[in-house]
Chains A and B, each alone.
Chain A
Amino acid sequence: MSALETVYQANTQTEPAMIELKGISKEFVKPSGDVHSVLQGINLQIPKGEFVSIVGPTGCGKSTTLSLIAGFEPPTQGKVYISGQKLEGTNQRAACVFQTENAFPWKTVMDNVSLGLRLRGKNKAEANDEARKWIARVGLKDFEGHYPSQLSGGMRKRVALAQCLIVQPEILLMDEPFSALDVHTRHLMEDELLRIWEETSASVFFITHDLEEAIALSDRVIVLTAGPGARVKGDYRIDLPRPRNVAEISFDPAFMRIHQQIWQDLRDEVIISYENANKFSS
């Protein structure tokens, strides 16, 4: 663990972190005129190629953090740096797998996957060739001409993955991407994600409410406190060996030890969040 940490520090000294959040706060003005604080004083560095999961109770601002990194909205206070450069507007070095749908229902699998390249000015033949490779890579070879509505939930996630990775993003954002899938499909997809990710050098920012999923996939798990005004509560390094088998890793004693340790942190926040919710509703 200490060895890993020294490597990590050495990295940050030689090159700027892929993603850096510096003193980030985010507030919304509610329709009633009150100010609702979502995030408060978030500091976070994610180096190149690291797989980071972020967990926290419902409504704690995980998705808000993601949309700040994606550049969908600016922070109220603080700055987002991507490779040392301040982020302005949409983050062109990132791609995102959303919780709901990524695939455009009016486009075939082929057109969906090649879209990123087409938007960046590649001609159709080249983009389609590249897309064909990615479609095969995620195991959808025979479905190039299908529309998303003709595919199962797991297949649509594969399309989403191919659609994101074809533009070779340096940052892959994932907002509870597999939460709508059944447990078996989900394990398959998680394994597939790891397999494909290990061939790239992308940093992954993975949101989930499932601590097991977070530990099984990540190099690092970050726990946020319950909102309003969420902060970083814990930052854990997961030094389980790779490649991993997501379905079986949870039997590993090391996994269980880490799980227990993080759960101590997370549990308190979940309870607070639950009490808050009951307070507001009654």
Chain B
Amino acid sequence: MKMQINSVVSPASREVVSRKAELKREALKLRARNLSLQLAVFVVLTGSWQFLSSNKIIDPFFFSSPFDIVKHIWTWAVNGTTAGPLWLQFWVTFEETILSFILGGVFGIIFGYALGVNELLSVILGPYIKMINAIPRVVLVPIFILWFGLGMPSKVASGLVLTFFIVFFNAFQGVREVDRNLVNNARLLGASKGQLARHVIIPSALTWILSSLHSSFGFALIGAVVGEFIGATHGLGYLIAQSQGAFDTTGVFAGMLILSVTALIADWGVSKLEKRFIAWRYVRK
């Protein structure tokens, strides 16, 4: 009905077209401006760092310089690191992160869902979960290294406990926030318990869960890196710890740079995932 009103050809339609083109141009201009400003911030920050460091205004031993850092990464990439080739370090950390991210996410969603749906379970387990959550979980890492050794399992465990709680609380909240009317509506329309979960509760909670995945990937990375710091034989965290032990500031910064790039890429991936799973949130209004 309303569409017909819109599709009536107005005498001023040509003006509308030119106006649209103008709006598009303006949007493009805005984008270009934002991008160039972002670039400017980068240039100013790294430029002044480089300048201060090469002119010895700040001590290059403690502060290094952007150029040295890039050169250091290049040397690692070409000649390998003390613990083997760079890609292996990267891969080890990445694998640990992904594993703990997935496991923490899956357990978080399962427990969050279970406690969200089941009142009794949430009443009984609620205080314990809060108690465990109150422990700074980084202190668990030494225990995990004692239990699981210097290899991958101890890092996955530490990443897992970090991600689990974030996803858990969000999944729990998401399930609790489901609109009562929508649940009732589905029940009247004949939904069984399983169908209710599939058609109503999970899609509704997904908004919460996916937004928690953004921050939880960062935490999975923290878990892996802290684990490698405390005791490991491979990985980017191990590399940073090694550099630190050798008073190699440039090495520490180089490790940090690789880590932050990894986190950026992962964040981009999660955003893609989010857009795919909750497409209905992004439709044109």
Contact = CB atoms under 8 A, between A and B. Distances in A.
B280 interface: yes
A94 B188 contact: yes
B204 A150 contact: no
Interface string A43-77: 00000000000000000000000010010100000
Given A147-B280, A149-B285, A150-B285, A104 B190 contact: no
A264 interface: no
A67 B204 CA distance: 23
A90 B193 CA distance: 12
Contacts, number: 69
A239 interface: no
A102 interface: yes
Given A70-B184, A119-B199, A142-B3, A149 B189 contact: no
A43 B178 CA distance: 34
Contacts of A119: 186, 189-192, 195, 199
A165 B103 CA distance: 43
Residue of A94, A98, A119, A163 with most chain B CB atoms under a 10 A cut-off: A119
B20 interface: no
Contacts of A163: 185, 189
A101 B204 CA distance: 14
A238 B189 CA distance: 31
Given A102-B181, A104-B199, A139 B188 contact: no
A98 B181 contact: yes
B285 A115 contact: no
A92 B190 contact: yes
Interface of A is mostly: loop
Interface in B154-190: 179, 181-182, 184-190
Interface of B is mostly: helix
Contact of B185 (A102, A105, A142, A146): A102
B160 to A, nearest CB: 29
A106 interface: yes
Given A106-B278, A116-B190, A147-B280, A96 B285 contact: no
A150 B283 contact: yes
Contacts of A146: 283
A139 B195 CA distance: 29
B280 A106 contact: yes
Interface string B250-285: 000000000000000000000000000010100111
A134 B184 CA distance: 22
Contacts of B56: none
B188 A70 contact: yes
Interface in B194-215: 195, 199-200, 203-204, 206
A178 to B, nearest CB: 16
A272 to B, nearest CB: 29
A147 B281 CA distance: 9
A119 B206 CA distance: 21
A167 interface: yes
B2 interface: yes
B1 interface: yes
Interface string A223-245: 00000000000000000000000
B199 A72 contact: no
Given A100-B179, A142-B3, A167 B280 contact: no
B199 A96 contact: no
Interface string A91-123: 110111010111011110000000110011000
Interface of B: 1-3, 179, 181-182, 184-192, 195, 199-200, 203-204, 206, 278, 280, 283-285
Interface of A: 67, 70, 72, 90-92, 94-96, 98, 100-102, 104-107, 115-116, 119-120, 139, 142, 146-147, 149-150, 152, 163, 167
27 contacts: A67-B184, A72-B187, A90-B188, A94-B188, A95-B188, A95-B189, A96-B184, A98-B184, A98-B185, A100-B181, A102-B181, A102-B182, A104-B182, A104-B186, A104-B199, A104-B203, A106-B203, A106-B280, A107-B280, A115-B189, A119-B189, A119-B195, A142-B3, A149-B280, A149-B285, A150-B284, A163-B185
